[in-house]
């Protein structure tokens, strides 16, 4: 069971809870901190001095003092009025990741909520009750207000407890109203007290959830891309000189050195490399370490940003001893927005260079004597199209990635009557990153599939040739899951099986162990 305390959550923990339904509990010391900050809120309310979000309105209405008797209505109205998201619903794993991150944020003891708020979020996770959250409508500043409000609709209420105000959720495989889901799971809905509505909804939590999942998925793709590169390099009889360790040491870029080293290991023992006698190859082979290496460096940087963010106090104001509320801007999603924009560019390029290698594999003028479009029998070319359309698909996804990789964090529009005049656009950046990584998974699957077929044809032409030790293992894993087929067939389902090898991590794990 995972224990959260507001400061030690890892991306790996997020994956365990979001994807593997790991149970979660609240650390005892965190409970004590939460109680202390709740007491500070109570003292502030008793003193009567205006404190943003505790006894004032929100955003442009921060100058409006709220009476103690209207505090419950203030918090309920915040949830109701801000739950205006739209678009396709986020995947369950994103919602679960966001609930965990929000619970961890509140566990830091800076937010002034009751322990019961955090415990209720954890109960939703542990009983696998997943609120339905629209994916669009957040600017990422003042956090992901709309998505978090939709989350709050499910587990909070007022004295009326209306069915129509409870949102939607999934429980035990059924979609139902939030009220019905909470009842079915035997979890009591909460009536929010001072500051609690703002504490739940303030912060770029869904952006951070998407970012954590993207970092995890992306880390798996890096080595997979190097496997695909090594397979294509051998299938094309590529020149090994471009991967010489002295060359990469001279550049001093760590990611580049890692890519070259991995390719050398994967191709160790190959007799296909250098077999064409070329001095140097096209950029998509020769410069692959210089293109794919920066993706490693950028992912390492982004992982640091996201790891800090999932342990950050991100609502406003924050509570500090003794009884001091400090207003600021920790809810602003710019750190996640910028990080996701960097990651989008890195993986867009990773996919783009992969597609170029697919093109080389299929073009008879560039593939060192292999049949056009890798048809099994050159005499049947024309009747058979081979894997021609796979490159079309990869090219289409690369073009989509290139459009999506335009930075989102540089775009801003003012909101709340100009009070909130610079917004992060973090959630859009994170959603686009997720799409790019999904597209990249498909493109790498196509390269692996195409390179495996090219190697089959190459070894038919050169029966005495040997693949490198890692390339041979990768080819074996692919062929075990997807047997070679000679004529034109329905390639689509086979590509999906190749993608499963990629996204499950099965291929990369097998080769990292070998």
Q: pLDDT tens-digit profile of 245-273?
A: 999 999 999 999 999 999 999 999 999 99
Whole-angstrom distance, CA of residue 291 vs CA of residue 218: 15
- Indicate if 22 belongs to the active site: no
Residue 68's pLDDT is: 74
Residue with token string 């899951």: 481
| Under 8 Å between Cβ of 70 and 158 | no
Considering the candidates 13, 58, 76, 82, report the single residue annotated as catalytic. Answer: 82
Backbone angles phi, psi at 88, to 5 degrees: -60, 150
| Under 8 Å between Cβ of 309 and 430 | no
Whole-angstrom distance, CA of residue 108 vs CA of residue 229: 44
Considering the candidates 33, 52, 93, 447, report the single residue annotated as catalytic. Answer: 52
Residue 4, strand partner residues: 26
Considering the candidates 89, 93, 123, 420, report the single residue annotated as catalytic. Answer: 420
For 19, other C-beta atoms within 10 Å of its C-beta total 14
End-to-end CA distance of the chain: 31
Considering the candidates 331, 342, 347, 449, report the single residue annotated as catalytic. Answer: 331
pLDDT digits 0-9 by tens, 402-442: 999 999 999 999 998 888 889 999 999 999 999 999 999 99
Its pTM stands at 0.96
Whole-angstrom distance, CA of residue 441 vs CA of residue 306: 21
Cis status of the peptide bond prior to 83, with omega within 30 of 0: no
Please, what are the domains in the chain? 2-202 (1.10.275.10), 209-513 (1.20.200.10)
Residue 61's pLDDT is: 77
Low-confidence ranges of the chain (pLDDT < 70): none
- Indicate if 286 belongs to the active site: yes
- Indicate if 110 belongs to the active site: no
Residue 280 region by backbone torsions, left for phi larger than 0, else alpha for psi between -120 and 50, else beta: beta
- Indicate if 283 belongs to the active site: yes
Whole-angstrom distance, CA of residue 433 vs CA of residue 350: 13
* Count of all residues that appear for the chain in the document: 514
Considering the candidates 183, 286, 411, 479, report the single residue annotated as catalytic. Answer: 286
Whole-angstrom distance, CA of residue 200 vs CA of residue 143: 10
- Indicate if 202 belongs to the active site: yes
Task: List the structure tokens of 97.
Answer: 């990741």
Considering the candidates 13, 55, 75, 202, report the single residue annotated as catalytic. Answer: 202
- Indicate if 75 belongs to the active site: no
Is the CA virtual torsion 268, 270, 276, 281 positive or negative? negative
- Indicate if 331 belongs to the active site: yes
CA-closest candidate to residue 194, choices 55, 64, 310? 55
pLDDT digits 0-9 by tens, 66-112: 777 788 888 899 999 999 999 999 999 999 999 999 999 999 999 99
């Amino acid at each position: 069971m995972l224990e959260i305390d507001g400061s030690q959550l890892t991306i790996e923990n997020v994956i365990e809870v979001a994807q593997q339904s790991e149970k979660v509990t609240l650390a005892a010391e965190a409970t004590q901190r939460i109680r202390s900050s709740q007491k500070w809120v109570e003292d502030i309310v008793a003193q009567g001095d205006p404190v943003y979000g505790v006894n004032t309105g929100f955003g442009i209405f921060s100058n409006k003092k709220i009476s103690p008797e209207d505090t419950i209505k203030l918090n309920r109205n915040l949830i109701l009025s801000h739950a205006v998201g739209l678009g396709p619903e986020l995947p369950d794993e994103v919602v679960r990741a966001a609930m965990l991150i929000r619970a961890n944020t509140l566990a830091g003891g800076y937010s002034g909520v009751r322990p019961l708020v955090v415990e209720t979020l954890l109960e939703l996770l542990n009983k696998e009750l997943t609120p339905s959250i629209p994916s669009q409508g957040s600017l990422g500043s003042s956090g992901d207000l709309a998505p978090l409000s939709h989350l709050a609709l499910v587990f909070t209420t007022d004295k009326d407890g209306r069915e129509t105000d409870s949102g939607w959720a999934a429980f035990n495989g059924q979609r139902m109203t939030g009220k019905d889901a909470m009842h079915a799971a035997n979890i009591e809905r909460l009536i929010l007290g001072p500051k609690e509505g703002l504490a739940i909804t303030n912060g770029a939590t869904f952006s951070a959830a998407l970012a954590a999942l993207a970092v995890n998925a992306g880390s798996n793709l890096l080595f997979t891309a190097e496997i695909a590169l090594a397979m294509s390099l051998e299938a094309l009889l590529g020149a090994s000189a471009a991967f010489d360790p002295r060359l990469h040491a001279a550049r001093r870029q760590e990611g580049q050195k890692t890519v070259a080293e991995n390719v050398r290991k994967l191709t160790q023992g190959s007799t296909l490399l250098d077999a064409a006698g070329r001095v140097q190859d096209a950029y998509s082979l020769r410069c692959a370490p210089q293109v794919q290496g920066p993706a490693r460096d950028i992912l390492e940087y982004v992982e640091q940003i996201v790891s800090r963010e999932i342990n950050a106090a991100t609502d406003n104001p924050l509570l500090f001893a003794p009884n001091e509320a400090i207003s600021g801007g920790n809810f602003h999603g710019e750190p996640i927005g910028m990080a996701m924009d960097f990651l989008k560019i890195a993986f867009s390029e990773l996919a783009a260079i992969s597609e170029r290698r697919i093109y080389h594999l299929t073009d008879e003028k560039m593939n060192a004597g292999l049949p056009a479009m890798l048809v099994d029998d050159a005499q049947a070319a024309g009747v058979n199209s081979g894997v021609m359309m796979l490159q079309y698909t990869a090219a289409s996804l690369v073009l989509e990635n290139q459009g999506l990789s335009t930075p989102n964090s540089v775009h801003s529009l003012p909101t709340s009557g100009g009070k909130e005049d610079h917004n992060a656009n973090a959630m859009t950046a994170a959603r686009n990153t997720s799409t790019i990584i999904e597209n990249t998974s498909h493109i790498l699957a196509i390269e692996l599939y195409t390179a495996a077929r090219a190697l089959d044809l190459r070894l038919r032409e050169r029966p005495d040739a040997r693949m490198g030790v890692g390339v041979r293992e990768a080819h074996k894993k692919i062929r075990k899951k997807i047997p070679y087929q000679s004529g034109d067939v329905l390639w689509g389902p086979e590509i999906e099986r190749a993608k499963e090898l990629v996204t499950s991590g099965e291929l990369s794990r097998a080769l990292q162990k070998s």
